[in-house]
Chain A
Amino acid sequence: MKEEFMFIDQTLGYALETQSLDIAEFIAIKRKIATMSPVIFDLTLQSFLAVLRYAAVRAEDIRIGIQPTAKEVAAAHQLGCCNIKVSLDDNAIHEMPALTGEALRQAREWEMNVALHIIGNCEYPASKVRHICRIVKEYGITSIVFDDSKSELDSVATYWRLLDLQQEIPCGVEYYGSNGKGLATGNALGAIKSGVRHIAVAVGGVGGYPAFEEVLMSARYLLKFPLDIPGNMAECCGEILSYAGQTVNFTKPIIGAHIFAHESGIHVDGVNKRSDLYEPFTPETVGLSRKIIIGKHSGKAAIEFKIKEMNISLQPTAVSEVLEKVRGLAIRQKAPVSDRQLQSLAHEAAS
C-alpha cells in the first residue's frame, strides 16, 4: 500500500471557489483531472453542497473538508461521503474540546476515513506528537495532514521532518505544501523521498499548491517511480486551467507552449543532432512540439536547418551572410525573425 501514490487534488476545489462552474463543467474538469493519475478530490462542505444543488454527484472519490463538529460530520455522512478532512489547531491537539471529541467519535462509529489536518506550524515537538498519537489511536484516525502552507521549510528539511514524523505516528501522513518561496515541487519530492505517498497538488500550481504536472513528472522521471504520464498532459492541464479561469504561462515547466522552443546556436545544433542533449524529455511525452526560433542567438546550424526546410540551397559563405543579417534584423526589430523574413534573406543571398 505504501508504494501507491494518491494525489490529493486541490484544483477542483479552487475552481469551485473562484469560478461559477455549472454541473457539466464540474463533471468535465473532474474527469480530466482524474486522467492525470489516481486522485481524490478535496472539497469544502460548502462547495460540495453548492454542486449538489444542481445534480446528484457520487462522492466516492471526494473528500469533504469540515470543521470538527458532530453536525458537519453528520452532514458529510448524509451526503454519502466516507472521506473527511477535519481541521484542528495546535490547541485542540493539546487539549481536545469535548465537541471535537464527540465529532471524531461519531465519524469512527460510521467508519469514515478521517484525515486530521493540523493547522499551525510545521514544528512537531515530542509533546505534540504524543497527543497526536493518542488521538490517532483513540479515534481511529486514518491520516495526519502535514501542512506547510506558510512555506516554512526547504526540501531537505521537509524530507527529515517527515521521515521522523512517519516513524512516530501510527497512521498515514499526507503532505500539503505551498509555493510561497518557489520550493513547492522540490518540497513535495522531499516528502515523497521520505516515504509519503499522499501529496496535495493542483494543476498549474493554482492556489499555491505544488503543481500536479511537475510533481507527477518529477516522480516519474527523476525519482523513477513507475507512474503513467498521459500523452496529452499539456493540453489536458491547459483545459483544466481554463475551467479554473487561468491560462498557462508559455514558459511554465512541463506544460508551457514554449518550453521546447530553441533559439541559441549551440542548443539548436544540439537538439538537431540528438534531442536529449538539450531536452530532459521529448516534447511528445507531454503532447507538445519542438520549435526552432530564428533570432539574435541563432547559429549557422539553425539557419541551415531552416532553409533546408524551405527547399533553398545555399553555399556555406552565403549561410554566414544570412546569419549576420538575421542577427542584425532581430536586434533592430527586437523580436525573432519570421519564416518569411528568413526566406527573403535566403533568396537575397542565393541570387
Chain B
Amino acid sequence: MKIKIVDTTLRDGEQAAGVVFSQTEKLTIAEALDQAGVFAIEAGTPAMGVEEQSALQAIVDADLSARVIAWNRAVKQDILTSVKCGFSFIHISVPVSDLHLQYKLKTTREAVLQQMVDSIIYARSFGCSISVGAEDASRADEKFFLQVAEAAARTGAEYIRYADTVGRLEPLETYEVMQSLRKKCALPLEIHVHNDFGLATANTVAAIQAGVQMVSVTVGGIGERAGNATLEQVFAVLTDLHGHDTGIDRNMLPVLTKLVAKACHVEADHFCQR
C-alpha cells in the first residue's frame, strides 16, 4: 500500500516550546524533506507575522516536488495572508470536541461548522487545494466529526486530519476507531497523534493497519509537550515490518535527523532516546 507522509516538523514540530528555526534552517529542512520524498511539507503558519511569512515565501519559491502547505485557523485574514505568501495548499484547522468548542472558542458546533465552510469557500476562491484539520478529534463526538468531514467534502476539501491533540489514544482503540471511521467518513483520513503516553508511533501504525493512508509526522518526533509521531520510527515500521511504500529515501533520514537536531540545539541521539 502507498502511504503518504505529511511532515509537520516545520509547523507542529517548531511549536515545541523553546524551538526556533531560522529562515535558512526552515528552507534547508524543507529542501531535505523534499529530497527525502515526503508527500507534503506543512511549512508553518503565515499568520504568525512578517518574519515567518518571509521564511515561508522562500520555501514556496523553492519550487519543491512535495506539496507545501500553510496551516491556518478558520479565519479569512489568516487564509488571505497564506495566499499572499504564495501558498496554493491551505490547511484549515477547526476544533471539533465539545470541550474545545465550549471552553476554548466559547462557540457552538453549528457556528464552527459554518466558519469552516466559509473559510474553505474563501480559500477555494483563490484556486487553492484544501485540507481540513479536526483538532481534538479523539475526544470529539464521532457524529460531529463525520458532519465536519461531510461539510468539508461538499465544499471541496481533499482530506481531513484526525488529530489526537492531547495524545490520549491507545493503539487497539486507534485501530477500532479508524476502521469504523474510514468506512463512514466522506473524506480520506490523515492521522495526527501526540506522544504524551509514548504511544505516537504505535497509534500511527495502528491507524495505517486500519486502512488510513496519510500520516502526519515530525523528524525526531519534535512537537508540543512530549512531541509527535516520529518520521524515522514510523518509516521503519511501515517499511520493514509491514512492507508499505512511503516514497521515502532511507538514506536521507539520518541527514534529516542531524539537520533538525542541530536546529533544535540538541544532539541527534536526543531523538533516539524518546
Contacts and interface: CB of A to CB of B under 8 A. Distances in A.
A270 B104 contact: yes
B197 A217 contact: yes
B121 to A, nearest CB: 23
Interface stretch (A54-62, A181-189, A308-316): A181-189
B57 to A, nearest CB: 15
B274 A252 contact: yes
B86 interface: no
A190 B172 contact: yes
Contacts of A82: none
A297 B14 contact: yes
B154 to A, nearest CB: 27
Contacts of A214: 197-199
Contact of B199 (A189, A281, A328): A189
B165 A278 contact: yes
A264 interface: yes
Interface in B92-151: 99-100, 103-104, 136
Contact of A261 (B18, B201, B230): B18
B237 A222 contact: no
A154 to B, nearest CB: 5
A223 B170 CA distance: 8
Contact of B103 (A258, A263, A273): A273
A334 interface: yes
Given A261-B18, A277-B103, A249 B202 contact: no
Max chain A C-beta neighbours (<10 A), residue from B170, B173, B227: B170
Contacts of B100: 270, 277
B25 to A, nearest CB: 9
Contact of B241 (A181, A184, A335): A181
Given A222-B168, A251-B227, A279-B166, A261 B20 contact: no
Interface residues of A, number: 61
A258 to B, nearest CB: 6
B251 interface: no
B197 A182 contact: no
Given A185-B198, A253-B197, A273-B104, A155 B172 contact: yes
B231 to A, nearest CB: 11
Interface stretch (B28-36, B62-70, B182-190, B203-211): B203-211
A211 interface: yes
Contact of B17 (A181, A222, A262, A274): A262
A306 to B, nearest CB: 14
Interface in B195-227: 195-199, 201-203, 205-206, 209, 222, 224-227
B48 interface: yes
A245 to B, nearest CB: 13
Given A270-B104, A277-B99, A328-B51, A186 B17 contact: no
A258 B16 CA distance: 10
Contacts of A343: none
Interface string A51-74: 000000000000000000000000
Nearest to B199: A186
A182 B168 contact: no
B224 A278 contact: yes
Contacts of B18: 258, 261, 263, 293, 295, 335-336
Interface string A153-193: 01110010000000000000000000001111111011001
B146 to A, nearest CB: 23
A156 B176 CA distance: 10
Nearest to A189: B170
Contacts of B136: 277
Interface string B225-236: 111001001101
Contacts of A159: 172
B237 A182 contact: yes
Contacts of B230: 182
Contacts of B20: 295-296, 330-331, 334-336
A204 to B, nearest CB: 8
B197 A183 contact: no
A324 B201 CA distance: 36
Interface in A303-351: 324, 327-328, 330-331, 334-336
Contacts of B166: 276, 278-280
Contacts of B227: 251
A260 interface: yes
A280 B196 contact: yes
B175 A183 contact: no
A197 interface: no
Contact of A181 (B14, B171, B233): B233
A297 B10 CA distance: 12
A110 interface: no
Contacts of A207: none
Nearest to B49: A327
B171 A186 contact: yes
Interface string B152-186: 00000000000001111111110100000000000
Contact of A190 (B171, B236, B270, B274): B171
Interface of B: 14-18, 20, 22, 48-49, 51-52, 73, 99-100, 103-104, 136, 165-173, 175, 195-199, 201-203, 205-206, 209, 222, 224-227, 230, 233-234, 236-237, 240-242, 270, 273-274
8 contacts: A154-B209, A185-B198, A185-B199, A222-B168, A251-B226, A263-B16, A280-B196, A328-B51
A-B pairs with lowest CB-CB distance, top 8: A186-B202, A182-B233, A155-B171, A261-B17, A214-B198, A182-B201, A263-B17, A253-B226
